[in-house]
Structure 1
Amino acid sequence: MTDWFETPEGIWQRLWQTLATGVTDPGHPARLPAFATVSPQGWPEARKVVLRSADQASATVTVHTDLYSGKIASLQATPRAALLIWDAGDALQIRLQAQVTIQSGDQTRALWDSVPDHARQSYGVTPPPGTPIPKALAYVKEPNPATFAVLTCTLSQIDAVHLGTAHRRAHFSRGRAWIGEWLSP
C-alpha cells in the first residue's frame, strides 16, 4: 500500500482533506492559517485568520473579516494573498497563493444571518480596527452586518511539503489543471 505522501495525487487529496478538516474542527491546525498580504506601502503583513470554507471543485477558500481591518486596504491595493498551514501531525506544510475578492453588504447578508452571536462580536468595533486608543480596552464591540466581509480566495498555486524521513515537495497550479509536479524540497 502506498502512503499518501508518495504521490502528488496522494498529497493533493491529503491537503484538501486537511483544509476541509480545518473548516469543521476548531482544534485542527488548518483552522487558523497565517494570512499574508502586502500593505499599500509595500510591506509584508501576516496575521492569523479563521478558515471558513474550502472547496476543492472551485479551488477556493474563504475567511471572514471586518470591513475596516487593515487587510482590506491591503487587498484593495493588491488583491492577492498567501495562506500558510503547518500540520505537525502529518508533518505537512501547505502554502496557498490566491487572488482575493472582497464581498460585503447585501452580498453577505444571508451569510451574516447564519453567523453565531459570539462570532458576530468580531465584526463591528468602535473605533475601527487599528485605530490608536488611549487604553487597552478603550473600544466597544458592536456587531454590525455592514462591517462583515467575506474574502474569497481563488487559488492559483499550492505548494505542499511533507517533512517526513525523506522530504517531498509537490507543486500544483491552476494553469496546469492542478496536475502535481515534484519539486526539490
Structure 2
Amino acid sequence: MSDWFKTLDGIHDRIWQTLGRGVADRKHVARTPTFTTVRDGKPEARTIVLRAADPKTHALDVHTDLGTAKVASLRQSPHATFHIWDQKQRLQIRLLTTVDILTGDAVADIWANVPDPAREVYGTRPSPGTVIPDALDYKKPADFESFAVLRCAISEIDALHLGDEYRRAAFARSRDWQGQWLAP
C-alpha cells in the first residue's frame, strides 16, 4: 500500500490524481463534489459535475445554465468552495476558488464537445428554481446562449486524511503551492 499521505508532495499529488479521476470516471466520487457559494449572506450548497481539472493552472471547470442560483450567487461574490469526501481513500478535499463566468465565444469550443442529450439542460424554461404549477411544466431546449463554464481558480487547498493517524495539509497559491502541515 502506498504511503502517499505521509508527505506534503504525496498529498498534493494525490489531490490532483483524485480530481483527474473525477473528470475522467463518471462513477468516481470526485466527479460530483459539493459546490458552495454565498448569496445575500447565506451559504448555498449543491452537487455539481466536475468537467475539467488542470494541475498546471490549479483550475477547475464546471458547466452550468446561466439562469441558475449559483450564477446569481457568483455575480454577487465570485468565490466558491468545492468539497469532496473520498471514503475509499479516507480523504477530504476542500478547495477555495475564485470563479470567472465564461460564455459565448469563450466557451464555443467546449459547447461543441457537449453531447446533444446533455445540451438539453442548458436553457431550461422557465429558469431553474422558478416556481411551476406542475412537476413537469418546463421545457429543456438546447440553448447555447444559456451555457456557461465556471472557471474556478483555486487559491487554497485543505486536505484531511483520516487514516490510523490523522494528517491535515494546506496548500496556497500565495505560498506558491508550498504545503504545510495543520493540526487535524
In the superposition, the TM-score normalised over structure 2's length comes to: 0.98
Aligned-residue sequence identity (percent) comes to: 52
State how many pairs are aligned: 184
Q: Which moved more, 1:117-126 or 1:166-175?
A: 117-126
1:121-132 counterparts in 2 under 5 A? 121-132=120-131
**What is the CA distance between 1:18 and its match in structure 2?**
0.1
Residue 36 of structure 2 corresponds to residue 36 of structure 1: yes
2:17 alignment partner in structure 1: 17
In 1, Cα distance between the equivalents of 2:120 and 2:12?
Answer: 35
1:30-109 counterparts in 2 under 5 A? 30-39=30-39, 41-109=40-108
Residue 136 of structure 2 corresponds to residue 143 of structure 1: no
Query: What amino acid is the match of 1:11?
Result: I
Unaligned runs of 5+ in 1: none
In 1, Cα distance between the equivalents of 2:117 and 2:88?
Answer: 29
In 1, Cα distance between the equivalents of 2:154 and 2:70?
Answer: 18
Query: What amino acid is the match of 2:35?
Result: F
2:152 alignment partner, SS class: strand
**What is the CA distance between 1:106 and its match in structure 2?**
1.8
2:64 alignment partner, SS class: strand
1:27 alignment partner, SS class: coil
- Root-mean-square deviation over aligned CA pairs: 1.0
In 2, Cα distance between the equivalents of 1:72 and 1:146?
Answer: 14
In the superposition, the TM-score normalised over structure 1's length comes to: 0.97
In 2, Cα distance between the equivalents of 1:23 and 1:124?
Answer: 23
1:166 alignment partner in structure 2: 165
2:41 alignment partner, SS class: coil
1:140 alignment partner, SS class: coil
**What is the CA distance between 1:2 and its match in structure 2?**
6.4
In 1, Cα distance between the equivalents of 2:109 and 2:22?
Answer: 23
In 1, Cα distance between the equivalents of 2:110 and 2:15?
Answer: 26
In 1, Cα distance between the equivalents of 2:12 and 2:139?
Answer: 43
Which 4+ stretches in 1 moved above 3 angstroms?
none
